[in-house]
Amino acid sequence: MGVEGEKEAIKRHIEDLRQKIHYHNYRYYVLNEPEISDAEYDRLFHELEELERAYPDLITPDSPTQRIGATPLEEFGTYEHRIPMLSLNSVTTEDEVRDFDDRVKRLLGIARVEYVVELKIDGLAMELVYEHGSFVVGSTRGDGYTGENITQNLRTIKTIPLRILTDDGAPPLLEVRGEVFIPLRKFKELNKELGAKGEKMFANPRNAAAGSVRQLDPRVTASRPLDFFAYGVGRVEGREFSTQWEVLDYLRRIGFKVNPLIRRFEDIEGVITYHNEVEKKRDDLDYEIDGVVVKVNSIAHQESLGAISRSPRWALAYKFPAREEFTVVNDIIVQVGRTGALTPVAVLEPVQIAGVTVSRATLHNEDEVRKKDVRIGDTVVVERAGDVIPEVVSVITSKRTGAEREFRMPDRCPVCGAAVMKEGPIVRCIGVSCSAQLKERIRHFASLRALNIDGLGEKLIEQLVDRKMVSDAADLFFLTKSDLLKLERMGEKSAQNILDAIETSKQTTFARLLHALGIRHVGEHTASLLADHFN
């Protein structure tokens, strides 16, 4: 074999390695179903790296080795979308969704419309351009017509294929649209790492994603846990689609990560029902969503409906009730936890957030109050996410009048009067007989994830402690019916139910008991590990 023939054989081998690595990236990062071990994958990748090092003229932009390591940019260029990335009209009520359906049916002149419902990921919209199967340009949505060219950064996201997987030939041009986001678990890990290094932490996953994809140094982007869900296409040459459902299926087959919770419905009532189901389970997801996107399934119908102003007539965002609202801090009080930690809490002008009236929000600790510069009288942004205690996210300083008052952490426990001690950002009451700590320890002991003593609520625990009927959690097991009947609003049946619940709680696991004891630094997970080890 001559030199040219040998070079051609090496080129084919390199291409074969790339195809294998692209395929295994898809199995690992998109499907979460790896077919080979990490060691075997590393062997393939290192072999490709060695060959490209020996033959740099054979390196291509869509090679798996080109995800990381590009040189920093001085600034981002712009990219003009061939088809505008329009924004969606938003609605929040069932009546508005039905009005949308009526309008669509009237414009189309038909009695029933099929819809596709997609989760509205709280991330950043992106467009990825593929030419003959290779990723060539990636850009932000921008103003819908022109975005920033952030190709080098998007190459580093492992769920974005550098080359699509296809057996029937790649289209000459394919524009894929989707959302870049950071999963919640990864977001918490990222902030923990940033905090440990003394770097500024991100306020929420969306801000983290935005700050990560717009780094001039792609190596920084590569270090961030970014993910991508594809949800549609822009211009496509060489392939036609009849429905949005078909588009999503195609994107999934050629290697893109498509949200598995997308559904198809024959009428608008199915859409409304699913929206309500998703809202109930949103806190179980590992990414933030703020609603669902409703799309007319038929592409022909979409084209017939067209767009008005900057929004398509064939789609809308059906959003959940807001979880952030503005309100005023009327006071800042201090609560004492089961470990003695003093927590400043903002007493708020009551405000509705996601259907719940919020009148208090945690400020975490004194350092957090200082960092956010929260003062009594401030107008603030309050956030509520799932079962998490409402939190003051930020202060609207432009609303200040000069009458606001700064907060100072007390130098004695506000409940028992004992001295306090500062441990890093935490201020603790060191009183050994602090009733606030005792109440919280008992509440934790009886909580759902500990001994799960049904009926032993906050008001009952307060009475038991205030009347000195219990001095620690173990005293619960010595309570009698006559003891309980002395309490306010306690009848025979209620007293017996509580005693039965206390008796039932004895049939628990070692892990739950360890967790219930409330040992500092021994949470639910650590308790489970300890129980497994000593069992």
Which residues make Cβ contacts (< 8 Å) with residue 442, sequence separation at least 6? Answer: 456, 461, 464, 465, 470, 472, 473, 476
Domain with residue 34: its CATH number is: 1.10.287.610
Decide if pLDDT at 379 tops 80: yes
Q: Tell me 341's DSSP state.
A: B
Let me know if residue 23 belongs to a domain: yes
My answer on whether 307 and 331 are in the same domain is no
Q: What is the pLDDT of residues 453-487, one digit of tens each?
A: 989 999 999 999 999 999 999 999 999 999 999 99
Cα gap 122→193, rounded to integer Å:
23
Start-to-end CA span in the chain (Å): 66
Let me know if residue 73 belongs to a domain: no
pLDDT band at 3, cuts 50/70/90?
low
Q: What is the pLDDT of residues 234-260, one digit of tens each?
A: 999 999 999 999 999 999 999 999 999
Decide if pLDDT at 158 tops 80: yes
Residue-wise DSSP of 176-202: EEEEEE--HHHHHHHHHHHHHTTPPPP
My answer on whether 481 and 380 are in the same domain is no
Decide if pLDDT at 222 tops 70: yes
Residue 289, Cβ density class (10 Å: 0-12 exposed, 13-18 middle, ≥19 buried): buried
Tokens of 491: 């009848």
Range ranked top by mean pLDDT from 12-26, 207-221, 254-268, 382-396: 254-268
Cα gap 403→151, rounded to integer Å:
49
Catalytic residues: 120
**Structural domains in the chain (count):** 4
Cα gap 254→467, rounded to integer Å:
68
My answer on whether 363 and 296 are in the same domain is no
Decide if pLDDT at 419 tops 50: yes
> In this structure, are residues 377 and 405 in contact, taking their beta carbons and an 8 Å threshold?
yes
To the nearest whole percent, how much of the chain has pLDDT over 90? 67
Taking CA 165 as the corner, what is the angle to CA 161 and CA 166, rounded to the nearest 5 degrees?
150
Q: What is the pLDDT of residues 337-366, one digit of tens each?
A: 999 999 999 999 999 886 678 999 999 999
Element (H, E) at 469: none
My answer on whether 467 and 347 are in the same domain is no
What ranges in 287-339 are assigned the alpha helix state H? 299-305
Cα gap 337→339, rounded to integer Å:
5
Minimum mean pLDDT range among 24-38, 76-90, 268-282: 24-38
Where is pLDDT greater, at 323 or 207?
A: 207
Q: Across residues 254-272, what is the average pLDDT?
A: 97
Decide if pLDDT at 109 tops 50: yes
Where is pLDDT greater, at 386 or 383?
A: 383
pLDDT band at 19, cuts 50/70/90?
confident
Nearest-10 crossing angle of helices 3-25, 38-54: 150
> In this structure, are residues 145 and 134 in contact, taking their beta carbons and an 8 Å threshold?
no
**Domain boundary residue among 38, 66, 94?**
66
Cα gap 332→521, rounded to integer Å:
27
Where is pLDDT greater, at 20 or 429?
A: 429
My answer on whether 241 and 166 are in the same domain is yes
Cα gap 103→91, rounded to integer Å:
14
Cα gap 166→374, rounded to integer Å:
55
Tokens of 294: 């409703």
Let me know if residue 18 belongs to a domain: yes
> In this structure, are residues 214 and 151 in contact, taking their beta carbons and an 8 Å threshold?
no
My answer on whether 286 and 256 are in the same domain is yes
Element (H, E) at 152: helix 151-154
* Rg, the chain, Cα only: 29
Let me know if residue 284 belongs to a domain: yes
My answer on whether 332 and 307 are in the same domain is no
Distances (CA, A) of 329 to 7, 344, 380, 408: 72, 12, 7, 15
**Domain boundary residue among 399, 428, 457?**
428
Domain with residue 342: its CATH number is: 2.40.50.140
Which residues make Cβ contacts (< 8 Å) with residue 269, sequence separation at least 6? Answer: none
pLDDT band at 78, cuts 50/70/90?
confident
Q: What is the amino acid identity at position 75?
A: E
Cα gap 149→497, rounded to integer Å:
65
Let me know if residue 74 belongs to a domain: no
What is the predicted pLDDT for the residue at 366?
A: 92
Minimum mean pLDDT range among 116-120, 168-172, 329-333: 168-172
My answer on whether 448 and 414 are in the same domain is no
What is the predicted pLDDT for the residue at 2?
A: 67
Decide if pLDDT at 1 tops 80: no
What is the predicted pLDDT for the residue at 385?
A: 59
Let me know if residue 103 belongs to a domain: yes
What is the predicted pLDDT for the residue at 387?
A: 46
Decide if pLDDT at 136 tops 60: yes
Minimum mean pLDDT range among 224-228, 282-286, 353-357: 353-357
My answer on whether 328 and 315 are in the same domain is no
Domain with residue 448: its CATH number is: 1.10.150.20
Cα gap 272→283, rounded to integer Å:
19
My answer on whether 402 and 309 are in the same domain is no
Tokens of 328: 């005023």
The torsion angles phi and psi of 322, rounded to 5 degrees, stand at -60, 145
**Residue span of the structural domain in which 330 resides:** 324-428
Domain with residue 147: its CATH number is: 3.30.470.30
Residue-wise DSSP of 348-395: EEEEEETTEEEEEEE--SHHHHHHHT--BT-EEEEE--TTSPPEEEEE
Residue-wise DSSP of 78-97: EEE-SS------EE-SHHHH
Length of the chain: 535
Computed over every residue of the chain, the mean pLDDT equals 91
Let me know if residue 126 belongs to a domain: yes
Decide if pLDDT at 384 tops 60: yes
My answer on whether 310 and 393 are in the same domain is no
My answer on whether 388 and 334 are in the same domain is yes
- If one counts every other C-beta atom within 10 angstroms of the C-beta of residue 110, the result is 11
Let me know if residue 72 belongs to a domain: no
What is the predicted pLDDT for the residue at 203?
A: 77
Cα gap 477→287, rounded to integer Å:
42
pLDDT band at 388, cuts 50/70/90?
low
**Domain boundary residue among 411, 428, 445?**
428
Decide if pLDDT at 71 tops 70: no
Q: What is the amino acid identity at position 95?
A: D
Where is pLDDT greater, at 28 or 480?
A: 480
